[in-house]
Amino acid sequence: MIRISTLATVAVLLAGAAHAQAVTVKIDSGPVTGVTEDKANVFKNIPFAAAPVGELRWAPPQAVKPWTTPRPASAQGPSCPQTMNPDGSPNFGGANGPTSEDCLQLNVYAPPHAAKTAKGGAPVMVWIHGGAHRWGAGWVYDGQNFARDGVVVVTINYRMGVLGYFAHPALTKAAKPDEPVGNYGLMDQIAALKWVQRNIAAFGGDPKNVTVFGESAGGMSTLALLATPSAKGLYQKAIVESGLGWFAPTPLAKKEAEGLKLMAKIGVPETATAADLRAIPADKFNALDADYQPFTDGKLMTETASQALADGHFADVPLIIGSNSGEDSLMGPAPVNPAQAAMIPQIARAIYKEETAAGDDILARAIFTDRVMGGPARWVAAEASSGAPSWLYYFSYVGSRFRPAVTRSAHASEIQYVWEYWGRRTPLSTVSDEDKAMATLMHACWVSFARTGAPKCGSQAWPAYTPAADQLMEFGAPSGVRTNFRKAKLDAQAFVSLPTLKLAK
């Protein structure tokens, strides 16, 4: 006799089967079988490059070995090597679970009938995750609601940390002639964009309508892609969320010297060969702290994003760029100490009068937010506006569950509104109608931009940015267009920071 509990379980399984059915798509490397769910055809763990292991560690991504039998693509693959929280909770980049060097895979979320309903295919958005180029994974982000609204979303993994942004004299010596070294994470992102060009039509996407977008390290990566000649033509639009924007050049020789010192921390002698380095277990690198980000290696990246903008070499595509009101969350909770406060110049105190009155900690945090994120975003929008249009935003909305204790929008807090998805850290039970309305607004802006190259946000008119008009869209309570927003403060940050970047003009 079947027990009631067993019958209930069977009913749940049958109901799930009715909403998740297998679907197979043929791509250039072989067939993949994902699942069709209510909102999307979902394909996970599709390799876009060969496993970067053995001789391929610290090498440009190589082609995947083809297969003929349908490859299962319904289960999540591993994250790239990184430090995970011991208790199994999501780390700083939102990832947890298994890791592997064999991690160059991507996920696709596609409208079930995209190929039939969109002339030439549906718009495509390729997401580059954040996490300081040390943490995170593409699989953390669920693209179902973008697919619901007719957009094909691709989320990617890329090499990070020592495996992603690392130079060493032995690796340079072992590289093939004219082969780039050091920016392996950026190379992976380019390889993923090339995969999209070759394969996205099979999922109903339009390879001629691709938007690359990312947040934090993903935003920095997006700016690097816009400045990298070999990436041009792989996308038609870009969105940068809290991606900085002012970058000083770091040549290969300096990164090689840093690499030698970094390896010395784990007992690797300066005489180590490329083979010696490739034999080191990957988990030995996780605790090594360094400046991991795209740099001017001289071959793949010949100039920074700042230099490319100033030189007129930046990709001329429509651009959305912006920052959050509480980017100072990156500073951590500790208040500034007296020594740090003493370094704040008097001219800054004169410009930041309200913050000065509120105390040194508030002042330091405001300066950090403006110098690291707000000022660079405004400068990039201004420089880019001379070609294809750019749009500038400022995200100040604070989720209802955090108010009134929290008054500023922390770094990365806009992501769940952009994706209209409450993710792995926000229980739906804590989301208010006001929160949902903000998500509906931002998500609509991003979707319309992906479709047409201009953000249309319902009744909210968002003008393109020009230095003369100096207008941005604030996503806050309330939202709306702001003119000359924090002008004196952001102008001051540009005056201080830009001369250090070695710009051409």
Q: Quick: pLDDT tens for 7-52.
A: 343 343 334 444 579 999 999 999 999 999 878 999 999 999 999 9
- Choosing from 216, 396, 479, 497, the catalytic residue is 216
pLDDT (mean) for 203-227: 98
Q: Which helix (H) or strand (E) holds 472?
A: strand 471-475
Burial class of residue 5 in the structure, from the number of CB atoms within 10 Å of its CB (0-12 exposed, 13-18 middle, 19+ buried): exposed
The radius of gyration of the chain from alpha carbons, rounded to an integer in Å, stands at 23
Going by C-alpha positions, the residue among 186, 158, 162, 134 that lies closest to residue 263 is 162
pLDDT confidence tier of residue 425, bands split at 50, 70 and 90? confident
Alpha-carbon span 245 to 471, nearest angstrom = 18
DSSP SS3 for 421: coil
Assess whether 216 carries a catalytic annotation.
yes
Phi, psi of 59, rounded to the nearest 5 degrees: -140, 155
CB atoms within 10 A of CB 504: 12
Peptide bond into 478 cis (omega under 30): yes
- Choosing from 215, 327, 355, 414, the catalytic residue is 327
- Residue whose tokens read 């004219």: 178
pLDDT (mean) for 230-238: 97
Alpha-carbon span 456 to 318, nearest angstrom = 14
CB of 383 closer than 8 Å to CB of 321: no
Could you tell me the CATH number of the domain that includes residue 201? Answer: 3.40.50.1820
Q: Which two tokens stand for residue 493?
A: 């940050």
pTM reported for the whole predicted model = 0.95
Show the domain range for 462: 4-501
Alpha-carbon span 346 to 351, nearest angstrom = 9
Cα within 13 Å of Cα(237), Cβ side: 29
Parallel, antiparallel, or unpaired for β 237-241 and 319-324?
parallel
pLDDT (mean) for 92-116: 92
Assess whether 168 carries a catalytic annotation.
no
pLDDT at 79: 98
- Residue whose tokens read 């069709």: 36
pLDDT at 504: 65
Alpha-carbon span 52 to 66, nearest angstrom = 16
DSSP SS3 for 392: strand
Indicate the angle between helix axes 487-497 and 375-384, nearest 10 degrees.
80
Assess whether 420 carries a catalytic annotation.
no
Does 311 have pLDDT greater than 90? yes
Going by C-alpha positions, the residue among 393, 374, 384 that lies closest to residue 321 is 393
pLDDT confidence tier of residue 459, bands split at 50, 70 and 90? confident
Average pLDDT, the chain: 93
Phi, psi of 216, rounded to the nearest 5 degrees: 60, -115
Write the DSSP assignment of 9-73 as a string of letters: HHHHHHHHHHH-EEEEEEETTEEEEEEE-SS-EEEEEEESS----GGGTTS---PPPP--SPEE-
pLDDT at 7: 37
pLDDT at 75: 96
CB of 190 closer than 8 Å to CB of 224: no
Between 357 and 18, whose confidence is greater? 357
pLDDT (mean) for 197-213: 97
- Choosing from 129, 168, 313, 411, the catalytic residue is 411
CB of 186 closer than 8 Å to CB of 102: no
Q: In total, how many domains does the chain have?
A: 1
Q: What residues pair up with 32 in beta bridges, in sequence order?
A: 25, 71
Q: Quick: pLDDT tens for 123-168.
A: 999 999 999 999 999 999 999 999 999 999 999 999 999 999 999 9
Alpha-carbon span 70 to 78, nearest angstrom = 20
